[in-house]
Amino acid sequence: MQRRELFSSLASSIKQTKKQEKLPRPPYFGDESLFHNECHKCDGACKTVCEEDIIKIASDKTPYLDFSTHGCTYCDECAIACNYGVLRVEDKRVINALVSIDKSKCLSWGHTLCFSCKDPCLDNAIDFKAMFMPIINDKCIICGFCISKCPANAITLKVI
């Protein structure tokens, strides 16, 4: 065996799998694998009924949430429209993510009076320590309405 063949053989035996990016999913699923097993059969019915237009369809034909313009009202319409059992009203839960405020980007944490995140929060999930230190409390239902309203892009979403 020549050196080139040896290295080719070793390289092919080492699988370098690209880490699949986790996407924020609509809050009505019980099993993540159903997205990959069933959604490719669908024409994106969940996307078409979303009143906030935050459901997008990924390249693998699975739905995900995009909070760049609005948030989720948990209206159940996407689950009702799903004909493949991926999204079900019975599986309603909080969106599979965590929301946090980056203090280094936040205008309020930088001592500029700003309530852009607090105003759209219908659940009173953002508290201010003094007037300049917003924190997200345990009332947060990960609706995402605060994300698009932050003028400094200081609110981030981490999918879990």
Token representation of residue 4: 């080139």
Number of other residues whose CB lies within 10 A of the CB of residue 87 = 29
How far is 117 from 102, CA to CA, in rounded Å? 12
pLDDT for position 1 = 56
| pLDDT score, position 14 | 47
DSSP 8-state assignment for residue 153: -
The string of pLDDT tens digits covering residues 21-68 is 789 999 999 999 999 999 999 999 999 999 999 999 999 999 999 999
Question: Rounded to whole angstroms, how far apart are CA atoms 12 and 4?
Answer: 12
- Residue 10: Cβ within 10 Å count: 9
pTM of the model: 0.85
Task: Tell me how far apart the alpha carbons of residues 79 and 147 are, in angstroms, rounded to a whole number.
Answer: 23
Domains of the chain: 33-91 (3.30.70.20), 97-159 (3.30.70.20)
Distance CA 134, CA 127 (A): 5
The DSSP bridge pattern shows strands 126-129 and 133-136 to be antiparallel
